[in-house]
Amino acid sequence: MHLFQRSQENVQSCHGIRYMMKELSTADVVFVDNKRTVSTKYDPLYPEVEEVFGVPHAPMPCTLVWRDLMVHVKVKRGKLKRIINNVSGIAKPGTLVALMGPSGAGKTTLMSALSRRSPAGTVMDGEISMNGRPLGDFMHQESGYMHQDDLFVNNLTVLEHLTIMARLRMDRRTSTVARKRRVNQLMRQLALYDSRFTRIGGLDEAQKTLSGGERKRLAFATELLTDPGLLFCDEPTTGLDSSSAQKLVSLLRASAAQGKTIICTIHQPSSELMAQFDKLVLLAEGRVAFAGDASAALSFFESLGYQCPITFNPTDFFIKMLALTPGSEGASRLAIKSICDRFAVSDAAKELDMEIQLEYHLMGNEIEELRRTRRNAFKAPFFFTKIMWLTYRYMLVILRDPRVQLLRIVQKLAIALTAGLCFIGTAQFTQAGIQDVQGALFIIIAENTFIPMYSVLNMFPEEFPLFNREFKAGLYSTPIYYIARMIAMLPGLLVEPTLFTLVVYWIAGLRNTFYATGLTVFLSILVLNVALACGSFFSCAFGSMPVAIAYLVPFDYALMMTSGIFIKLSSMPRSVSWIRHISWLMYSNEAMTILQWDGVQNITCPVTNDTKVPCVSTGDEVLVQYDFDGARFWWDVTALVILYVIFHLLALLALRHRARRK
Ligand SMILES: Nc1ncnc2c1ncn2[C@@H]1O[C@H](COP(=O)(O)OP(=O)(O)OP(=O)(O)O)[C@@H](O)[C@H]1O
């Protein structure tokens, strides 16, 4: 309770914003063209929601303190490179903090450390705590992180994206109505309501998509879904025109006014933008060159004898002072060191130090508050809820472009017709017919193997950046993503092989029994799924399509050569014949051959007087000719299922390894 009261006081005393908090927390505040306006005609997306719930709560106040922080990254041969050097600071509720400095000063590294989102290979020393708690995994639930480059599933609309994100991010105890209300509120507050049915992005030029500013606001809305008390924004205005940048910073300002703590890295903002920030931290060469009220930075530099020219924007001046001048790096480093050293003994630094000490002292007494926080700890959505909503997301993407799906089916039918026509009337119980039947079976197997296996190679590398970001944000685990991704593809994985196999089977006139037809279709579905699992494994293991192809081509040749169609399996050298045990082409070829020839007794032989001309007259002899065994049908099916499971498990492990390493 203590901490909450103290933080609330901070919020109110810091800016006298009690009035604003009340005002901004109502749902009818809309930002239009950088001006906050109150809509006169209230038009909520879900009217029933507002009636039930009324005014929302203020976010939980968050005070972030860091003391004597050092950050190193691992470079070659296990050596450590120091990026952040003995940095201390504090960010309180209701404040908008700007983290500025020249390129390479360490802004992103510091912010990643403060948000507990540092990449693997980062070594930290020093203290960071939020509301008295040393940083832990809770940071992913209790803080938001807006990345510089916004990543979305482009084909979704704004409303679909926010609805799905609400399902993945918000506490599972939140009711459906409350979730809808939050989505509604955010779309209205961030001026996205009119674009709610607009697609976020995409390559279709005929489709209207979001502008750069709208994408940034959508990224901001996504982070605000859980209403975190602490928000990190990495260069939120980069790539925006001045009006959109102003609009976005006004939104950050308004959120801070609601009681949030917001830390932003920012590149040389205009004076107008800078005026919206309360606190400024200037970094140079991994050290603090200034930290305190944004308005006091100029006086500090003046006290060192550095006068900002009247024609200069102060932020340009700070960066100029703290950047290395090309050609005289040594002198620049000395000047920067001197500024940082003098800040370390300045009144502003002492004041900051005292504030930090006081915060630590007060935090020591917050045990009761900690207990309360733990009791109300965030409860993530259930495993199956996440799978369901992620599957929905990927299914939407597939369904969004029905023309592509239709084209794929038309293409499959065209290939099936072409292939089938080559075999028309040839599948007979004759000596020539044996080769024709085996050829038709191999066409079915090859078509269901190679196209699916290669087409999936690009999928995981393409989706990896978004997956990795959402995985790191704790939205879902690798198995959840992987399972959802596979389930979303399932309809296509059933329809395509079924259509192709039935068309070829029918035109080629293969064995006309329900048992043989049904099981051949089943086997072709299995073959396609094993091939896709194998492609997924190569895609996850090698991370890029060209590398994956380089390894997959020799692998698939080896599988094809041991399929039993090109070389007699018993005549292969032992050193390579073992490969057939992992060849789904061999297992499916054997199983489909059994279905065609099992019990056949009447294969006709050519009429000739030469008794030495060999003749295969029964199905069993056909199987012997290919080194197949009629008793192994169900073993073949089992082997295909085992390969399916193994390839998927390997793919999952490879993806997990990749995600943890990045
Ligand atoms: N993993 C790493 N290995 C080696 N050097 C690194 C690594 N990460 C960061 N650095 C170096 O640390 C310094 C600070 O990087 P950081 O990205 O934090 O700077 P920044 O202030 O955010 O720069 P910018 O404004 O250009 O994004 C840079 O010189 C960068 O090259």
Cα 81 to Cα 565: distance, rounded to the nearest angstrom: 58
**Residue 388 and residue 301 share a domain:** no
Residue 3 lies in a domain: no
Q: Are residues 395 and 338 in the same domain?
A: no
Asked if residue 389 and residue 366 are part of one domain, the reply reads no
The contacts of residue 78 (CB under 8 Å, 6+ apart) are: none
Residues 233 and 252: beta-carbon distance below 8 Å: yes
Q: What pTM was estimated for this model as a whole?
A: 0.83
Amino acid letter, residue 632: R
430 and 575 inside one domain:
yes
The 3-state DSSP class for residue 147 equals coil
End-to-end CA distance of the chain: 39
Does 132 reside within a domain?
A: yes
- Average pLDDT of the residues in 12-16: 38
Q: Tell me phi and psi for residue 170, to 5 degrees.
A: -80, 155
What value does the mean pLDDT take over residues 229-247?
A: 86
- The neighbouring-strand residues paired with 430 are 604
612 vs 468, more confident: 468
Residue in 299, 333, 332, 324 with CA at minimum distance from that of residue 314: 299
User: Is residue 49's pLDDT more than 50?
Assistant: no
State the Cα–Cα distance between residues 59 and 441, nearest whole angstrom: 64
Mean pLDDT across the stretch 322-344?
86
**DSSP per residue over 396-440, as a string?**
HHHHH-HHHHHHHHHHHHHHHHHHHHHTTTT-SSBHHHHHHHHHH
Q: Please report where in the chains the tokens 């700007």 appear, as a residue.
A: 98
Ligand 1 neighbours, Cβ below 6 Å, are 73, 75, 81, 83, 101, 103-109
**Residue 89: phi, psi to the nearest 5?**
-175, 175
Both tokens of 534, joined, read 């194998």
* 243: Cα within 13 Å, side-chain hemisphere: 7
Residue 191 domain flag: yes
Output the pLDDT for position 34.
41
* Tally of residues, the chain: 662
CA 103 to ligand 1 center in whole angstroms: 8
- Side chain identity at residue 82, one-letter code: R
Using alpha carbons, list the distances in angstroms from residue 607 to 204, 430, 614, 636.
64, 12, 12, 36
pLDDT, tens digit (0-9, with 9 covering 90-100), for 377-405: 778 899 999 999 999 999 998 888 888 88
Given 326, 356, 375, the domain boundary residue is 375
Choice from 80, 83, 281 to test ligand 1 binding pocket (greatest atom count within 8 A of CB): 83
The residues with which 134 forms a beta bridge, in sequence order, are: 129
For the segment 166-170, the average pLDDT, to the nearest whole number, is: 92
Whose tokens are 């051959």? That residue is: 593
Provide the domain limits for residue 583: 383-661
Atom number, ligand 1, closest to the C-alpha of residue 267: 25
Identify whether residues 367 and 406 lie together within a single domain.
no
Ligand 1 centroid–CA 108 distance in Å is: 7
Cα(235) to centroid(ligand 1), Å: 14
pLDDT band at 416 (very low <50, low <70, confident <90, very high): very high
Exposed e or buried b per residue across 246-273, where buried means at least 16 C-beta atoms within 10 angstroms of its C-beta:
bbbbbbbbbbbbbbbbbbbbbeebeeeb
Mean of pLDDT values over 20-31: 36
Shared domain check, 407 and 490: yes
Specify the 3-state DSSP secondary structure of 246. helix
- Per the CB < 8 A criterion, the answer to whether 19 and 387 are in contact is no
The answer to whether 236 and 204 are in contact (CB under 8 A) is no
Residue of the nearest CA to atom 26 in ligand 1?
103
Largest CA distance in the chain: 116
Closest ligand 1 atom, CA of 101? 21
Phi, psi of 559 (to 5 degrees): -65, -40
**ipTM score of the complex?**
0.96
Same domain, 306 and 235: yes
pLDDT higher than 80, residue 478: yes
Query: What is 63-100 written as a DSSP string?
Result: -EEEEEEEEEEE-GGG-EEEEEEEEEEEE-TT-EEEEE
H or E segment at 31? strand 29-32
Nearest CA to ligand 1 atom 13: 104
pLDDT digits (tens, 9 = 90+) for 98-119: 999 998 889 999 999 999 888 8
The dihedral sign for the CA sequence 586, 589, 594, 597: negative
User: What was the pLDDT predicted at 586?
Assistant: 94
- 426 shares its domain with 498: yes
| Residue from 76, 99, 103, 109 to probe ligand 1 pocket by mutation (most atoms less than 8 Å from CB) | 109
Asked if the structure places residue 1 within a domain, the reply is: no
Kind and range of the H or E run holding 449: none
Domain identity same for 585 and 447: yes
Give yes or no: residues 125 and 73 share one domain.
yes
Q: Compute the distance from residue 595 Cα to the ligand 1 centre, in Å.
A: 63
Query: pLDDT (tens digit, 9 = 90+) per residue, 536-553?
Result: 999 999 988 999 999 999
> CATH number of the domain that 199 lies in?
3.40.50.300
> 643 near 584, Cβ under 8 Å?
yes
In a domain, 400, yes or no: yes
CA proximity to 4, closest of 103, 132, 101: 132
Which residue has the least CA distance to atom 25 on ligand 1? 103
Closest atom, ligand 1, to C-alpha of 121: 1
Which residue, 359, 375, 391, sits at the end of a domain? 375
| In a shared domain, residues 475 and 586 | yes
Best CA proximity match to 95, nearest among 217, 257, 208:
257
| Calpha distance 287→588 (Å, rounded) | 64
Q: What share of the chain is helix, strand, coil (3-state, %, to 5)?
A: 60, 10, 30
Residue 2 lies in a domain: no
Q: Name the 3-class secondary structure at 267.
A: coil
- pLDDT, residue 549, reads 92
- What are the C-alpha distances in Å from 38 to residues 35, 276, 476? 10, 21, 37
pLDDT bucket at 39, cuts 50 / 70 / 90: very low
Torsion, CA 560, CA 496, CA 655, CA 642, rounded to 10: -60
Average pLDDT for 274-301: 89
Ligand 1 nearest-atom number relative to CA 283: 21
* Number of structural domains the chain divides into: 2
Q: What is the mean pLDDT of residues 213-241?
A: 88
Residue 391 neighbours by CB distance under 10 Å: 19
Same domain, 364 and 404: no
Say how far apart CA 89 and CA 68 lie, in whole Å.
9
Given 375, 397, 427, which residue is the final one in a domain?
375
How many whole angstroms separate alpha carbon 167 and alpha carbon 201? 21
Banded model confidence at residue 269, pLDDT cuts 50, 70, 90: confident
Distance (Å, rounded) from C-alpha 339 to C-alpha 321? 9
Strand 64-74, strand 122-130: pairing: antiparallel
Q: Which residue has the higher pLDDT, 136 or 42?
A: 136
Q: Which H/E stretch holds residue 280?
A: strand 279-284
Q: How far apart are CA 169 and CA 232, in angstroms?
A: 17
